[in-house]
Amino acid sequence: MDKFVDIAPIVEIRELRDGLFLLSFESESIAKNAKCGQFVHIKCSEALFLRRPISIYNVEGAVVTVIFEVRGKGTKALSEMSAGTLLNVLGPLGIGYSLSEYSGKKVWLIGGGIGIFPLYMAAREYKGNSKVILGFKSRAFVAADKDFAFTGAETHVVTDDGSYGSKGFVTDKFKELLEGDKPDAVFACGPMAMLKGVYEICKENGIDCEVSLEERMGCGLGACLCCVTPVKVADTTENLTVCKHGPVFKGKEVF
């Protein structure tokens, strides 16, 4: 799989809401090869040895966009960059969702919190053939829902406290929508408990399920083994790296 280290100029960086930033950079090589569910590994500061993994949100021509939340030193440094700064980016990395395998079929996209971002390119691809369920803690954390709706995908927002969209978890909305319709596959990304809940519902209903996992990463290339996770392969369990063998796995391989 083609991956590149690029010194890419930032074309746009702006705060979408408190602590959440959209960053676009120009990289023909990464843009040309990027697939939905893959990520880029960004050098956020000369003072930090390790790069930070961020999912690819969108690609338009040679421009790649990511959306990230400030969590610690790396993402804070990244948020302080400005348009014109040259970004050191490695990517596209990992294995994304099986977009082409489900072409023409019904795929529902289920994301929680910052886990919604790797699903956007799938919404753009499947448009009205997909339903999207986005879950957030409360209104203050809602982001990108209008982008998803604009693709033509039927977009539902839920919040834990009901302050925006309907009240509940993505799994509640998933069960509700299943009363009237059933997809061929679900692509999900979010906290582990959410992914497990989504997978269990898929299993009960005979729906294929792909989940994107998050692990702390070092090299991003499968060499340092710091992101190893147990994955069921055939009848055995193997320790595979989330960065190289994932981050997207079949739900049945993980749970």
Ligand X SMILES: Cc1cc2nc3c(=O)[nH]c(=O)nc-3n(C[C@H](O)[C@H](O)[C@H](O)COP(=O)(O)OP(=O)(O)OC[C@H]3O[C@@H](n4cnc5c(N)ncnc54)[C@H](O)[C@@H]3O)c2cc1C
Positions that interact with ligand X (CB under 6 A): 39, 52-55, 66-69, 71-75, 114, 117, 214-217, 247
- In angstroms, what CA-CA distances link 120 with 116, 143, 160, 205? 7, 12, 22, 24
Q: Which residues of 60-77 are buried (b: 16+ CB within 10 A; e: fewer)?
A: eeebbbbbbbbeeebbeb
CB of 104 to ligand X, least distance (A): 28
CB of 43 to ligand FES, least distance (A): 14
Q: Cα separation of 171 and 116, whole Å?
A: 14
CB of 205 to ligand X, least distance (A): 27
Q: How many residues bind ligand FES (CB under 6 A)?
A: 12
* Binder of ligand FES out of 223, 237, 238, 239 (CB under 6 A): 223
CB of 229 to ligand FES, least distance (A): 10
* Binder of ligand FES out of 95, 241, 246, 253 (CB under 6 A): 241
Indicate which of ligand X, ligand FES, none lies near residue 183 (CB less than 5 to 8 Å, by partner kind). none
Closer of 19 and 222 to ligand FES (Cβ): 222
Q: Cα separation of 37 and 39, whole Å?
A: 7
Q: Which stretch binds ligand FES (CB under 6 A): 5-13, 125-133, 165-173, 224-232?
A: 224-232
Indicate which of ligand FES, ligand X, none lies near residue 55 (CB less than 5 to 8 Å, by partner kind). ligand X
Subset of residues 44 to 63 that bind ligand FES, contact rule: CB under 6 A: none
Closer of 93 and 198 to ligand FES (Cβ): 93
Closer of 9 and 218 to ligand FES (Cβ): 218
Closer of 75 and 98 to ligand X (Cβ): 75
Indicate which of ligand X, ligand FES, none lies near residue 210 (CB less than 5 to 8 Å, by partner kind). none
Give yes or no for residue 30 binding ligand FES (CB under 6 A).
Answer: no
Query: What is the separation, in whole angstroms, between the first and last Cα of the chain?
Result: 27
Residue ranges binding ligand FES (CB under 6 A) = 217-220, 222-227, 241, 243
